[in-house]
């Protein structure tokens, strides 16, 4: 691809994704697996539940004994034991007998059902009462009622979770119940973040003539963390090839999996990032038919995939959203690389220049469906337009005007409660 060529967002994304691999697996302890992608199948070594147990506090019985029981003509059974959760009753329940049983306690031999305590004359009595000798059963139950059977949830030997599955709290719980304390997950991507520009000063420094604080570096580190990846701050490079090379070397030394830099990729006199990339690796410099965020440098620096984002803070963030995000998710083993897109009804008019445009907007839910309203000033230096936004409305390539009332696709940046 030569310098003059304009490519589509889709073409750029495909090329970026082609340069990054899915990272290898590492072994982590269970809690460190949260949010990560499994790199192994998990075969259940136990069945769950592991044994027949009661789903209610009540009495373990033989269903045949209470077949005729009702409130008007209760059946009395002799109590032979008490089974707390965690205990096992050594004696069997025989015809005419019962054992008190708590939720989760092991069903004793001989019993085939449980009568909830509410259906006996023991309901609502003192917690500390001694075990009664006789209990009156007020209702009939069928065999198996209120019994949770072994393997009902998970059968030993089955593949419970497959490689590629993302671990949420519920997966962590299932793994804990199966005794999995160590597991293989895809390694977290390490992303080297470099800001470039002579005008940049640190976040702690007072403003002075001609200078602005480096915000991109922080936005991008935050974006990286939000994706479950690890940012490696490479600081700020001056607009010299020498300083850019020096800062990138620190990233190589730290073993980053991807470089993300901002600025220095336009056509300005001091845009040195491209030169450094050309000299130190392979570079494709593109003008992407996208708004905001036309320039995008991409390639490898000493073998490490590289994304050079534009400098304007909104362009940088949106380009990260569109390209770096998918690349980082892919490296981390994710299969779904895109944000959810939902159709919304536009409330105001949008003008575009024919490039695929990402318009900052607020999406809300109304009785008539989702509506989207642009956040006003769309200058690519105006970060507050992104602070107000929860979505980017996509104007497709080739479209120059979208009128109020038309339906657009919204790329949801987040899903605040008021959208649901």
Residue ranges that bind ligand AMP, judged by CB under 6 A: 195, 197, 199-200, 212, 214-217, 262-264, 266, 268, 310-313
Phi and psi at residue 178, to the nearest 5°:
-95, 0
Q: Does 263 bind Mg ion (CB under 5 A)?
A: yes
341: tokens are 């897109």
Sheet with strand 230-237: strands edge to edge? 6-7, 281-288, 295-301, 304-309, 258-262, 190-196, 230-237
Which residue in 255, 227, 216, 392 sits closest to 325, CA to CA?
A: 227
Which residue in 321, 132, 305, 156 sits closest to 224, CA to CA?
A: 321
d(CA 380, CA 323): 17
Residue 333 binding partner per list Mg ion, ligand AMP, none, with a CB distance cut-off of 5 to 8 Å that depends on partner kind:
none
Give the CB-nearest residue to ligand AMP.
311
Provide, rounded to whole angstroms, the least separation between the CB of residue 18 and Mg ion: 28
Give the CB-nearest residue to Mg ion.
197
Provide, rounded to whole angstroms, the least separation between the CB of residue 287 and ligand AMP: 13
Provide, rounded to whole angstroms, the least separation between the CB of residue 273 and Mg ion: 9
Which residue in 111, 72, 70, 65 sits closest to 88, CA to CA?
A: 111
Q: Which of 58, 192, 197, 295 binds Mg ion (CB under 5 A)?
A: 197
Provide, rounded to whole angstroms, the least separation between the CB of residue 390 and ligand AMP: 22
Nearer to ligand AMP, 44 or 309 (CB): 309
| Residues 6 or more apart whose Cβ sits within 8 Å of residue 170 | none
Which residue in 154, 150, 156, 232 sits closest to 194, CA to CA?
A: 232
Which residue in 382, 380, 388, 390 sits closest to 410, CA to CA?
A: 390
Nearer to Mg ion, 373 or 380 (CB): 380
Interface with Mg ion by CB under 5 A: which range of 27-35, 105-113, 258-266, 403-411?
Answer: 258-266
Nearer to Mg ion, 197 or 299 (CB): 197
Provide, rounded to whole angstroms, the least separation between the CB of residue 200 and Mg ion: 9
Nearer to ligand AMP, 108 or 310 (CB): 310
Helices 241-253 and 273-280 meet at what angle, rounded to 10? 60
Residue 101 binding partner per list Mg ion, ligand AMP, none, with a CB distance cut-off of 5 to 8 Å that depends on partner kind:
none
d(CA 116, CA 141): 10
Q: Is 356 left (phi over 0), alpha (psi -120 to 50) or beta?
A: beta
CB 146 within 8 A of CB 164: no
Nearer to Mg ion, 197 or 332 (CB): 197
Provide, rounded to whole angstroms, the least separation between the CB of residue 216 and ligand AMP: 3
Task: Please name the residue ranges forming H helices in 106-215.
Answer: 169-177
Provide, rounded to whole angstroms, the least separation between the CB of residue 266 and ligand AMP: 5
Residue 212 binding partner per list ligand AMP, Mg ion, none, with a CB distance cut-off of 5 to 8 Å that depends on partner kind:
ligand AMP
Task: Give the per-residue contact string, 148-187, with Mg ion (x = CB under 5 A; - = no).
Answer: ----------------------------------------
Q: Which residues bind Mg ion (CB under 5 A)?
A: 197, 263
């Amino acid at each position: 691809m030569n310098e003059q060529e304009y490519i589509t967002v889709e073409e750029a994304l495909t090329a970026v994704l082609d340069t990054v691999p899915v990272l290898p697996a590492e072994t982590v302890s269970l809690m460190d697996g949260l949010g990560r992608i499994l790199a192994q199948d998990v075969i259940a070594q136990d069945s769950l539940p592991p044994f027949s147990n009661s789903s209610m506090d009540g009495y373990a019985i033989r269903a045949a004994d209470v077949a005729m029981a009702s409130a008007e003509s209760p059946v009395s059974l002799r109590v032979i034991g008490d089974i707390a959760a965690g205990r096992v009753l050594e004696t069997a329940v025989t015809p005419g007998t019962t054992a008190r049983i708590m939720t989760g306690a092991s069903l004793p031999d001989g019993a085939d059902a449980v009568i909830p305590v509410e259906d006996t004359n023991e309901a609502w009595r003192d917690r500390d009462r001694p075990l009664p000798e006789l209990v009156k059963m007020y209702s009939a139950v069928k065999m198996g009622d209120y019994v949770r059977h072994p393997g009902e949830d998970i059968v030993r030997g089955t593949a419970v979770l497959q490689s590629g599955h993302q671990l949420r709290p519920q997966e962590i719980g299932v793994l804990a119940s199966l005794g999995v304390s160590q597991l293989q997950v895809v390694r977290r991507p390490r992303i080297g973040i470099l800001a470039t520009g002579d005008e940049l000063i640190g976040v702690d420094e007072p403003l002075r003539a001609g200078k602005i604080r480096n915000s991109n570096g922080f936005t991008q580190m935050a974006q990286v963390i939000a994706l479950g990846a690890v940012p490696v701050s490479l600081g700020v490079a001056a607009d010299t090839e020498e300083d850019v090379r020096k800062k990138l070397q620190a990233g190589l030394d730290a073993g980053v999996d991807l470089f993300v830099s901002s600025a220095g990729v336009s056509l300005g006199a001091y845009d040195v990032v491209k030169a450094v990339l050309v000299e130190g690796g392979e570079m494709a410099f593109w003008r992407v038919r996208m708004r905001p965020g036309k320039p995008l440098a991409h390639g490898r620096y000493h073998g490490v995939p590289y994304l050079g984002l534009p400098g304007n803070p909104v362009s940088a963030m949106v380009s990260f959203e569109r390209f770096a995000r998918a690349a980082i998710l892919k490296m981390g083993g994710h299969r779904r690389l895109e944000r959810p897109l939902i159709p919304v009804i536009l409330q105001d008019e949008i003008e575009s220049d024919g490039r695929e445009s990402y318009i900052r907007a607020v999406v809300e839910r109304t009785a008539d469906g989702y509506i989207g309203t642009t956040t006003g000033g769309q200058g690519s230096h105006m970060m507050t337009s992104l602070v107000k936004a929860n979505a980017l409305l996509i104007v497709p390539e080739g479209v120059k005007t979208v009128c109020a009332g038309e339906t657009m696709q919204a790329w949801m940046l987040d899903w605040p409660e008021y959208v649901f």
